Each structure stands twice: as structure tokens, then as C-alpha cells.
Structure 1
């Protein structure tokens, strides 16, 4: 039986890949054979180094996902730098800690724009590419 977790030849975008869960996901996908586009506001230099140490390709794709402005560029840059796109892991997210009676509209908009709006539109942009190539996987993470 072949390895069901073999991702050799696949390319994955992982948002929020700089630390924590995003970094762990990027490293796990790389260990399974995927090349990684590490997306975030802060360059994921450590993640990229660790992915490359596993023998996989990795590129930093800098993007502030608090707006949808960089969404298509993230997809295009990934394809240009890594030669394709097969997997999207929407992991980036923010939180504003305040009691609901004190939560401002500005805080609300920042959370919704990053955690929902950019997630949807990045999935849409990646999905268009995946539909055209006939396959792909999108995973959205929320907490």
C-alpha cells in the first residue's frame, strides 16, 4: 500500500505560517513532501528555513490579510515561485480581547476582515486555479 500521506510534488499555501499552528502545519505538510508558500504579515523566515531543512522548497509570500488587496497576488506569487498550487490552508487570524459591551466597530471590522473576508476571498482565488487544473484542497481553520 502506498503512503496515503504522500504530498510529493504538491504545493501548499499556509497563511499565518510564521509561528504556532501555522508553522506546525507548514512543517507537517513539508514532511509529507509538499513545497510551502509561507504567507503572513511577518516574514516566516524560521518556518522557511525549517521547511528547506526537510528538503522541500519554501518561499515567503508577504501579505497583510486584513484586507483582500493581496489575495490574488498571494496565489499568483505562489504559482510563479513554486510552480503550482494544490493546497490552501487558511490559518491566519486575529483576535481583539475586549468585553462585548466595550468592543468597538473598528475592532469588529478588523477581526471580520482578517478572519472571514480574506479567508473567503483567498479560498475563492485559489479555488479558481484549482478548478482550472482539475483538483485541489482547501482547509479553513477557525477557533
Structure 2
């Protein structure tokens, strides 16, 4: 799945949690091989897990489906690109529920993952073209 020195790609159908975990492990190993700190790898893996989980659960309604993941390190930044063919969804315009609201049983489920994605990432870009959602995620690396 390594296509060049600083790039990792995956293209296929994610159908179950085991496949998702394998993809997350391989992506994490790619970043570790580039000597990226554990802290940064953990955060980026968490972002990718949230994105892919949301695609599988909400976009494909738990049935799994096609995803494309590209991960690269360029110019002091990690760049993730995630594409899917699920229903159109722009996480940039989704407004998650307030975490400071009453956490009683009436609290609505949803949005916590998107909040995590937005907090950890430095930049999110979204486009929809040719029937695919495409999310571009950027995370700056600390200077060494």
C-alpha cells in the first residue's frame, strides 16, 4: 500500500470493524516509519477513525462501502484525503451539539466525532464531485 516514500494509499470496500482497524494500523505504521511522534500519529489516527466510522455508519448505513484513503507528508504537513460514494455530506457545515449542554438522557447522539475531527485538524476542505465525497484534512507537524 506504500506507493512512494512519503505517500500511503488504500482503495477498497470497508465492510467491518476488522478491516477498519487494519487500515488504521497500516496508516499509523506509515506515519511511524516517517518518524512522526506518537502523539501526532495518535491524533491523526483518531481523526481518520472518526471520518471512516462516520462514512460506514452514517453514509453507508452500517453496510460498508467504497473508500479511498491517501496519506502523505509534505512540507511539514500531514495530508489525508478520504473519498467515498455514500450520500453527500459536508462535515464542514455540520454544527455539532454543544458538549456543555445538559448531558441527560435527552442529549442527542451525533456530532462528537466531527467535533474531534475539527479540533485535531488544522484545515478541512470538502468537495463533492463525480458522485464522491472528498474530504481533505491537513495537520501541521511541529518544527524539529
Normalising by structure 2, what TM-score? 0.25
Normalising by structure 1, what TM-score? 0.25
Report the structure, 1 or 2, having the larger helix content. Answer: 1
Report the structure, 1 or 2, having the larger strand content. Answer: 2
